[in-house]
A and B are shown apart, each in its own frame.
Chain A
Amino acid sequence: MKFRIYRFNPEKDKKPYMQDYDLDLDNSDRMLLDALMRIKAIDDSLSLRKSCREGVCGSDAMNINGKNGLACITNLTDLREPVEIRPLPGLPVIRDLVVDMSQFFKQYHSVQPYVTNEEPVLEQERLQTPGDRARLDGLYECILCACCSTSCPSFWWNPDKFVGPAGLLAAYRFLADTRDQNTRQRLDNLEDPFRLFRCHSIMNCVDVCPKGLNPTKAIGKIKDMLVKRAV
């Protein structure tokens, strides 16, 4: 199977280039990550992140034939050849397929992704009704792989100002949480023209999310909350 992989080592390369690999796969090689590990066995200079190899950790997010995804859950039979693999777009490349995700996590942290509750700590959990708990479905499952934010043009152009789909999904996850008491400050934090309103609902994030989540819908609900608060 043929692969074209983005290579860039800032210590010795002046500019990035694409390197071709022709690989004989075993029957046990099912996913793209299997093939990449086989390439790495041949060429150990290839750098990439990976960990759980089953779509849970989000480490091996990359751009696969033009679309962001996780290598470990991308079936090789679904890919046209040569399989062109690049790092996630819009983030600085550290080396080969490894990107600097500092900006992504900075935006994630900016939405305070944790429950804020000033009431005295209980001796047991803060209980929710099944209905209240169900509101978090489709929100809490995000694995922060950054496939969504790095496929969003608004995040490419304004990564320092626009929170991005992953951060906004997390923001709504805590806005929707009945145990959280910080709704007003959370909405204040998103009200300026850049942090939330750079989203133009083009839904690239929905298209690429490997967990099947819908950040655009969550962003729409935040906008609804802002409108309801204002009127």
Chain B
Amino acid sequence: MTNLLKGCASVIEKLSPLPYGLRQWVGQRLTAVLMIIYLITICVKMVLARPLDFIQWQYIFQPVWMKLWTLLFMLSLFYHAWVGVRDIFMDYVGLLPLRLGLQALVASVLLVYSIWSFNILWSF
């Protein structure tokens, strides 16, 4: 199992244009910038939509561009969280099989969250 996970990590590494450490570090910063821009957007939208009841809330997310923008925000949030949690595991969990297992668990949860986010946004 450990060899399989190591093999997967190696394949991902080879396919990646940036080295793994740098890619994660840059990715975390880019997603942070994207999330700040989104939060400004949503704050402005909420202020303009006052009084903010459920109808207005639905109206904010009606345009397709807003759905896509929100989905991008959610995916950025999950990627940002992934790098942060992975860092914690790399720092504190020394046992490689346990660390890879925990990382796989978190990745699975974040994947479910991503699908769930898509489902919520397109149900408006």
Contact = CB atoms under 8 A, between A and B. Distances in A.
24 contacts: A154-B91, A157-B94, A158-B90, A158-B91, A191-B21, A191-B22, A192-B21, A193-B20, A193-B90, A194-B21, A194-B90, A195-B21, A197-B25, A198-B87, A198-B91, A200-B87, A223-B22, A223-B25, A227-B22, A227-B26, A230-B18, A230-B19, A230-B22, A230-B26
Interface in B75-115: 87, 90-92, 94
Interface in A204-231: 223, 226-227, 230
B20 A192 contact: yes
A196 interface: yes
A157 B91 contact: yes
A167 to B, nearest CB: 16
Interface residues of A, number: 17
Contacts of A194: 21, 90
A197 B24 contact: yes
Q: How would you classify the secondary structure of chain B's contact residues: helix, strand, loop or mixed?
A: helix
B122 to A, nearest CB: 34
Contacts of A113: none
B90 A198 contact: yes
B102 to A, nearest CB: 15
Nearest to B22: A226
Contacts of A226: 22
Nearest to A158: B91
Nearest to A226: B22
A138 interface: no
A153 interface: yes
Contacts of B91: 153-154, 157-158, 198
A195 B25 CA distance: 13
B20 to A, nearest CB: 6
A154 B90 CA distance: 10
Contacts of A193: 20-21, 24, 90
Nearest to A153: B91
A94 B100 CA distance: 35
Given A154-B91, A191-B19, A191-B21, 7 more contacts: A158-B90, A191-B22, A197-B22, A197-B25, A198-B87, A223-B25, A230-B26
Interface string A167-195: 00000000000000000000000011111
Contacts of A157: 91-92, 94
Interface centre among A154, A193, A223 (most CB of B within 10 A): A193
Contacts of A200: 87
A164 B88 CA distance: 17
A158 B92 CA distance: 9
A197 B92 contact: no
B94 to A, nearest CB: 8
A191 B25 CA distance: 11
A192 B91 CA distance: 14
Interface in B1-25: 18-22, 24-25
Interface centre among B19, B20, B26 (most CB of A within 10 A): B19
